[in-house]
Amino acid sequence: MKKEKSPWQQFHDLEAPNYDQLCFTQNTAREIEFMIDILDLAPGASILDLGCGTGRHAVGLAGKGFAVTGIDLSSGMLAQAQEKARAANVKIDLIHADASTFSLDRQFDAVISICEGSFGLLGSQDDANEQPLAILCNVNRSLKPGRKTLFTLLSAFKMIRERSQEDVDKGQFDPLSMTTFTECSPAEGIPPVRLRERAFTPTELRLLFQLAGLSVQNIWGGTAGNWGKRAIDLDEFEIMVVAQKPV
């Protein structure tokens, strides 16, 4: 029997053709340069892109000579990534898999997970702590000793500031798990999909990364289009985490 797609699979499969037109995807080139610097990437380094989506970072990194592997839950997103790689005449190893359960027989010089990249994108039955922890444990297994990972993920500060007691009463926001339930349409004219997302505070991020065997080096503001070595703005969407696997 064919397994039913998760809400996030459904959403991203339908969103894929229009994803690269979204406003937060327009600073890819600058983000790539930032990652190369922060992750200390030498020429030809191997990179694992978790939740690679349409390959907007993966293709750019491959074009600079890096060996890139992309993992995504959405076959629609991977199809877009494959077409983009073909058009750019670069090679990327693309894998259809869940970031919390995949298993690879090799390790990488860096792991990236940008714009959530599955981290905290929950199914209705997923545990709000176990899902991100499972992803981080996979990151640890996939990283070479001494190498770094970079994540951008939803900020709990903004989520809390935007929500009300009415949202709690309606079941749209759960302050105990820091999750929201929202109805989102992946494209104009397409019925909305009910999605569940998890946001994080810096203190719990340090703990989750530590439990997975990763040492957090920096936590910065990470909203797309405004990356930098800077303090978190309480009203921005995303937080950036840079962590390292011990030698």
Mean pLDDT by 10 residues, the chain (247 residues): 78 89 86 96 97 95 98 96 96 96 95 94 94 97 98 97 96 96 88 94 98 98 92 96 97
| Residue 78 tokens, joined | 């991977």
Burial of 41 (0-12, 13-18, 19+ CB in 10 A): buried
**CATH code of the domain covering residue 178:** 3.40.50.150
Quick check: is 157 in a domain?
A: yes
Tell whether 1 is covered by a domain.
no
pLDDT of residue 2: 55
Q: CA-CA distances (angstroms) from residue 29 to 36, 56, 107, 216, 224?
A: 11, 9, 25, 25, 12
pLDDT at 3: 65
Q: What is the pLDDT of residue 196?
A: 96
pLDDT at 21: 85
Output the pLDDT for position 198.
97
What pLDDT, on a 0 to 100 scale, did the predictor assign at position 90?
97
* Model pLDDT, residue 4: 72
State the Cα–Cα distance between residues 72 and 95, nearest whole angstrom.
7
Q: Please give the Cα distance from 17 to 77 (Å, whole number).
A: 8
CA distance 177 to 32: 32
The alpha carbon of 193 is separated from its chain's Cα centroid by a whole number of angstroms, namely 19
* Domain annotation covers residue 108: yes
- According to the model, what pLDDT value does residue 131 have? 96
For residue 119, tell me if it sits in a domain. Answer: yes
The answer to whether residue 136 sits within a structural domain is yes
How many domains, in total, are found in the chain?
1
Query: CB-side exposure of 55: number of CA atoms within 13 Å?
Result: 30
Question: What pTM was estimated for this model as a whole?
Answer: 0.94
In a domain, residue 206? The reply is yes
Domain with 127, as residue range(s), is 7-244
What per-residue string of b and e applies to 2-26 under the rule 16 or more CB within 10 Å gives b?
eeeebbbbbbbbbbbeebeeeeebe
Determine whether 235 is exposed, middle or buried from the number of CB atoms within 10 Å of its CB (0-12, 13-18, 19+): exposed
Can you list the alpha helix ranges (DSSP code H) found in the chain?
A: 7-15, 28-38, 56-63, 75-88, 130-142, 156-162, 165-169, 202-211
